[in-house]
Every structure is written in structure tokens, then in C-alpha cells.
Amino acid sequence: MLKKVDVNISELFHVGGIITTHGLKGEVRIYPTTEDVHRFSELDELFLEDHKGNLYLVHIASVRYQKGQVLLSFKEFSDINAIEPYKKCQLYVDREHATPLGEGEYYVADLIGLKVVSDDGTYSGTLYDVMETGANDVYEIHGDDGSSFLLPAIKQCILDVDMEEKIMTIHILNGLL
């Protein structure tokens, strides 16, 4: 039986979603949303969010890889009937189990809400969302006046990120707005 955990989902990192069941022994096919698909082999536990938004701590029993997807089984589910209700549910890890970052890299969750100022010192708004594209991320910035604009996350535009002060300094290239 699953036991609900009292964790704020905004403090967790999304690593994948259950696509469907696989076989009769409770295995599920995962669509990974993490850059390193093989990181599931390093994990012992995940947070499972059900369709109602409840979170449960589940323990990984086995991991296999097949065609760019992950096949997982959990100690809490012994057969297809037990895991079936969790199809299309999401999986998360806590910060302790998140992928380590390199120099100048940030978790998206930490960037959301940063105050954004331009290099001339004027306030531009708040970082609202990060869109992942093929070439580079794009930051959606919302102004207090209801305006918004998109800014490519490239070194010519993102001059500094001060996580202690929660401020991002940007340069808006000519013609960008």
C-alpha cells in the first residue's frame, strides 16, 4: 500500500512520466525528461504524483532500457493490476538526487521568479518560464504592467545570474523586441 508524503512539489525535479504498463509483473514504460536517461540506474527512489496531485515515495526494484525509454518496476507494485491506475502519472526526484550542475548551470526551478534587470539598470520584470528549444533555452519575462517578452538564453543576452540576490542581468539585443 502506498503512503502519501508531505512534500511540496515545487521543490521537486521532474524526471519522467509513466507512459503505460509493460508486461504482467508491474513494470512500467517511462518517458524520461532528464538529459541522462541512464541516471535511473543510480536512483533508489522516486516521488510518484497520482492523478489527484498526491505524492508518494516509491522504491525502484529494477531498471532496464529499451529504445530510448526506461522500463522500471517498483517494490510497491507486484503486478499489472496494482500499477495500472498510475499510467500517465509523473515521477520526480528531490534536490538531493537531482543531476549535479556544472559551472554557470542552474535548475529551471531556481530561475523561475528571478528579478530581471537590463544592463542599463532598468527593471525589466520577472522570469516567468523557461522554454527548452533545440538550439538554446528561451526565457519568458513578464513585466509588472502585464507585458511580456521572450529572450534567448545566450551569453550575449544573459550577462549575470546572481542566485543569492535573486537577480538576472540581461542585455536586450537591437531588434529583439
HSE toward the beta carbon, residue 165, CA cutoff 13 A: 9
pLDDT at position 121 is 84
Q: Tell me: the pLDDT tens digits for 31-76?
A: 998 878 888 999 999 999 999 999 999 999 999 998 878 999 999 9
23 and 87 in a common domain: yes
Query: What is the chain's mean pLDDT, rounded?
Result: 91
CATH of the domain at 154: 2.30.30.240
93 and 27 in a common domain: yes
pLDDT at position 93 is 93
HSE toward the beta carbon, residue 83, CA cutoff 13 A: 27
Q: Tell me: the pLDDT tens digits for 84-141?
A: 999 999 999 998 888 888 887 888 888 999 999 999 888 889 999 998 887 889 999 9
49 and 14 in a common domain: yes
Q: Does the residue 74 lie in any domain? A: yes
* Residue at a domain's end among 69, 97, 125: 97
Q: Does the residue 177 lie in any domain? A: no
74 and 22 in a common domain: yes
155 and 92 in a common domain: no
State how many domains the chain has.
Answer: 2
Q: Does the residue 117 lie in any domain? A: yes
- 8 Å CB contact between 57 and 45: yes
pLDDT at position 57 is 96
CATH of the domain at 62: 2.40.30.60
Q: Does the residue 127 lie in any domain? A: yes
33-65: b or e for each residue (b if 16 or more CB lie within 10 Å)? ebeebebbeeeeebbbbeeeeebbebebeebee
112 and 74 in a common domain: no
pLDDT at position 40 is 93
Q: Does the residue 4 lie in any domain? A: no
pLDDT at position 69 is 82
156 and 76 in a common domain: no
From CA 1, how far away is CA 146, in angstroms rounded?
A: 46
124 and 56 in a common domain: no
pLDDT at position 3 is 85
Which residues constitute the domain of residue 122? 108-170
Q: Does the residue 89 lie in any domain? A: yes
pLDDT at position 98 is 85
130 and 160 in a common domain: yes
115 and 89 in a common domain: no
pLDDT at position 124 is 84
Q: What torsion do the CA atoms of 55, 60, 66, 69 make, to the nearest 10 degrees?
A: 20
**Which is more confident, 102 or 12?**
12
pLDDT at position 105 is 82
